[in-house]
Amino acid sequence: MAFKLPKIIDALQFGLLSPDEIRKMSVVRVITADTYDEDGTAIPSGLMDGRLGTIDPGQRCKTCGNRVGECEGHFGHIELARPIVHVGFNKKIYKILRAICRECSRILLTEEEVYENKQKILKYEKRWEQANTDLINEILKKAAKIVTCPHCQALQSKIKLEKPTTFFEEIKASKKSKVTERKKLSPSDVRDRMERISDDDCLLLGINAKHARPEWMVLTVLPVPPVAMRPSITLESSIRSEDDLTHKLVDIIRINQRLRENIEAGAPQLIVEDLWELLQYHVTTYFNNEVSGIPPARHRSGRALRTLTQRLKGKEGRFRSNLCGKRVDFSSRTVISPDPNLSINEVGVPLEISMQLTIPEKVTEWNIEELKELIMRGPASHPGANYIIRQEGLRIDLRFVKEKRNVADSLEPGFIVERHLKNGDIVLFNRQPSLHRMSIMAHKVKVMPYRTFRLNLCVCPPYNADFDGDEMNLHVPQSEEAQAEARTLMLAQEQISSPRYGGPLIGANWDYISASYLLTKKESFFSRKEAMQFIVSSGFNKDLPEPEIKEPEELWSGKQIFSLFIPEDTHYTNTAKICQKCTECLEEKCENDAYVTVRNGILKTGVIDKKAIGSQQEGSLLGRILIDQGNDVAREFLDAITKLFIRVLSYKGFTVGFWNVDIPKEAKTRIDEILDDAEKETRETIDAYRQGILERLPGRTFDETLEMKIMEILSKSRTTASDVAGEYLGMENEAVIMAKTGARGSMLNLGQMAACLGQQSVRGARIKRGFRDRTLPHFKPGALDAPSRGFVRNSFRRGLTPIEFFMHACGGREGLVDTAVRTSTSGYMQRRLIHALLDIKAEYDGTVRDANGEIIQFIYGDDGIDPAKSEHGKSVNIDAVIDRVLKTTVEE
């Protein structure tokens, strides 16, 4: 469908619809409350009048003669029997009524004040091209306080707004009398007063009389939206079901007609007023069905109607759901799962999906033969095609083509073939919440069997993805320009370095870290056969160096194998994660092999663990390679070593079990002693507190002092217990390997499993809520000792007592609640922050400007450095340069 732009918009003016304008744009005055008669034709002058546009396919609009697609609908109108207050303006009406005289409708300010303020407002508008709302609010507030009109000396009365739409006047007999008489202001009275306001006074009330007269806020005519805005649906039982808006309009017309008839028949005042109020209710709920103070209008089933305001407002409203966010073609979504054999640049796409998503390829004399083959294969077998678009724009659906040969032969340059996704195509891959730019990256397609998207484990951190059921989205860029941008700017390898801190966000994780430790630790040696297998599995063909041990058999160290993959000319020095932080560092001679040195691409000393190849690590080997050798080399390195590690790990075997947290009997006795001592100490402290001989800490009450002391004693005992357990768990223990190398877990977690779980806390203090003066009925009232306040003495290995289990659940629940609350608030905070910063851009002259061209910074970040290309925020890492120069020259 060709897109027509009828006019070029150069300005927008908001205003109110005047009754005349409503009548002018109306094509029919609606007077019948019914929609259709028995035989299903629309009743003329009814709510479904043919002149309001058409929604039936095939039918022509009675106004413009167009069919469904072309006719955008036409407004009708309802003449209201009596004026009705528009709920959306109740506050504004209230403010104006308070600021004007009840007799002469002039603003309650002296002529001088009027003149002065007028000048101010005009000046402000000229300068800033917007209204001075602060000044206008001040004027309104000031005028509301005046008791006698400066123009006609009439005594003013207080106006009250009873929400949502009723106005009252509290009339005093004289200036001094305290007795007030409460009188209702009908919408007619309100409209009368506002009609008398002069255009000049409107300016002071914050209204531009050219576009919005104040009396237009009280309706006399109601526009009826075209049927296209409120289509009726036909159910299978051929019963018509009307839109909520139509229902509401039916109510309005019905009451309006009743009101008119009653007025004309001269019915008593009381009846007329009742009907008037009912009409006001219907019109109010027509605009907004969630006004406070009145019950929402309901459907027969009891469901609240979705009227005008509800259509626009909120997350599911027109703005946030249909205008800011739209559903797109050429996209798909499914569950993700890991595949270590993929490159970080690749994404595994299920065959079924790849046959649905297409890329339009123009037929040229170069690719015509290839595309003919695709057409011959058709939409049902993989590298095929779904559609052909001929030069004149005719679309051929290949699903319904009988003789594919004929279509393929008719192919000529200028046609477009929508072919299936195939290996090497570029696609965008995304996981919500899209918090930063690495949440959407470009990947190359790899078509695979089964039904999940596959991705390399190293790209989990930027997406924050795991495989417990996460789903991700995939989008296919259609134009060559979009594909080129995706490939050069968004490809995963271009995003390895995080712009948050100059270091890799994509890197090895979890099992890769364990495997790298097992491979590169001192005592690991491999035979020729083993070494060869590891290297081949990485997908590279490299020659083995001279073996480190030649007799009695040839053995290669893990470090040698790993070194094969480090790019040449790489120099790196750092401590490993397993470093014990000794007071005096032995550097290269470190006993734990925790001092990592890489000289010219050879790993000389140290083990490779999280600090060298992990994601989100500053100053890592991976980061060094990334900055010195570029994205391509870093990606190749990462892809190769991860495949290598997978092979190493499955060859060596690696598992964690109950035995990993099992400690010898003597350790258990030592831990018990520690905990007994701690409990004894707490009891003594409590005794001291009870006797009042506890020494108070500065700035604390006795209660606080006691709590602090106990917390300190207990947490110290847990730490020592954990340390004792740690002594018996060595580096041959898999769980310890994971904790120490940074693969998963920590020594604290291990201590909780092996030694003692420790104090459970709610709101940062020991658990104290529950029953009166105690946490559970198992304790004496007023008990303060360790077990009664949530100290868990047992370890996970030994098992928790029911009471301990309960206490642990208390602490666990708090954690869950906290995460739920934190994500929602921080998410909203981030949304607002990004909204404020979204259009700023660095220009060619180096300045940072917003969309209006206003300068935010003279040079980006005050130093002009792209953090993603920096060395952890700095332009040069001087230590690395010195290290490289010194260490390399000495050796030569």
In the complex with another protein, which residue's Cβ is closer, 365 or 732? 365
In the complex with another protein, which residue's Cβ is closer, 480 or 591? 480
The least CB distance from residue 569 to another protein, in Å, is 20
CA 763/CA 773 separation, integer angstroms: 18
In the complex with another protein, which residue's Cβ is closer, 60 or 437? 437
In the complex with another protein, which residue's Cβ is closer, 150 or 360? 360
Residue type, 749: N
- What are the CA-CA distances from residue 3 to residues 327, 451, 662 (Å)? 19, 38, 73
The least CB distance from residue 342 to another protein, in Å, is 19
| Beta strand pairing call for 602-605 and 595-599 | antiparallel
The least CB distance from residue 415 to another protein, in Å, is 12
> What are the phi and psi torsion angles at 473 (to 5°)?
-105, 150
CA 511/CA 532 separation, integer angstroms: 21
The least CB distance from residue 486 to another protein, in Å, is 9
DSSP letter string over 478-544?
-SHHHHHHIIIIIBGGGGSEETTTTEESS-B-HHHHHHHHHHHSTT-EE-HHHHHHHHHHTT-----
Q: What are the beta bridge partners of residue 473?
A: 333, 430
In the complex with another protein, which residue's Cβ is closer, 135 or 842? 842
The least CB distance from residue 413 to another protein, in Å, is 6
Contact 47, 35 (CB under 8 A): yes
**3-state DSSP call for residue 62?**
coil
Looking from the CA of 26 toward its CB, the CA atoms found within 13 Å total 22
In the complex with another protein, which residue's Cβ is closer, 423 or 746? 423
Looking from the CA of 687 toward its CB, the CA atoms found within 13 Å total 6
In the complex with another protein, which residue's Cβ is closer, 232 or 629? 629
> What are the phi and psi torsion angles at 430 (to 5°)?
-145, 145
Which DSSP symbol is given to 107? B
Joined together, the tokens standing for residue 585 give 């560092």
The least CB distance from residue 845 to another protein, in Å, is 5
**What is the SS3 assignment for 537-582?**
HCCCCCCCCCCCECCCCCEEEHHHHHHCCCCCCCCEEEECCCCCCC
CA 252/CA 39 separation, integer angstroms: 25
CA 119/CA 123 separation, integer angstroms: 6
- What are the CA-CA distances from residue 281 to residues 191, 268, 643, 854 (Å)? 18, 20, 70, 49
- What are the CA-CA distances from residue 562 to residues 285, 434, 465, 602, 819 (Å)? 73, 36, 28, 8, 40
Binding site for another protein (CB under 8 A): 129, 361-362, 364-367, 370, 413, 424, 426, 479-485, 487-489, 494, 843-845, 847, 849, 852-854
Residue type, 27: V
Which candidate, 788, 792, 786, places its Cα nearest to that of 773?
788
Determine the distance from the C-alpha atom of residue 733 to the mean position of all C-alpha atoms in its chain, rounded to a whole number. Answer: 41
CA 593/CA 570 separation, integer angstroms: 20
The least CB distance from residue 530 to another protein, in Å, is 36
In the complex with another protein, which residue's Cβ is closer, 238 or 852? 852
In the complex with another protein, which residue's Cβ is closer, 416 or 694? 416
CA 273/CA 279 separation, integer angstroms: 10
How many CB atoms within 10 Å of residue 314?
13
Q: In 33-176, at which residue ranges do the beta strands (DSSP E only) sit?
A: 76-85, 158-162, 166-172
Say which residue the tokens 């877990």 belong to: 745
In the complex with another protein, which residue's Cβ is closer, 400 or 844? 844
The least CB distance from residue 119 to another protein, in Å, is 22
In the complex with another protein, which residue's Cβ is closer, 366 or 659? 366
Q: Quick one: CA torsion of 808, 809, 812, 816, rounded to 10 degrees?
A: 180
Q: Quick one: CA torsion of 394, 399, 400, 404, rounded to 10 degrees?
A: 80
The least CB distance from residue 541 to another protein, in Å, is 21
In the complex with another protein, which residue's Cβ is closer, 370 or 673? 370
In the complex with another protein, which residue's Cβ is closer, 429 or 526? 429
Contact 248, 307 (CB under 8 A): yes
The least CB distance from residue 128 to another protein, in Å, is 8
The least CB distance from residue 418 to another protein, in Å, is 14
In the complex with another protein, which residue's Cβ is closer, 485 or 628? 485
CA 141/CA 396 separation, integer angstroms: 68
In the complex with another protein, which residue's Cβ is closer, 34 or 494? 494
510-520 and 734-741 helices cross at what angle (nearest 10)?
100
The least CB distance from residue 643 to another protein, in Å, is 25
The least CB distance from residue 421 to another protein, in Å, is 13
The least CB distance from residue 321 to another protein, in Å, is 31
The least CB distance from residue 490 to another protein, in Å, is 9
In the complex with another protein, which residue's Cβ is closer, 730 or 853? 853
The least CB distance from residue 391 to another protein, in Å, is 13
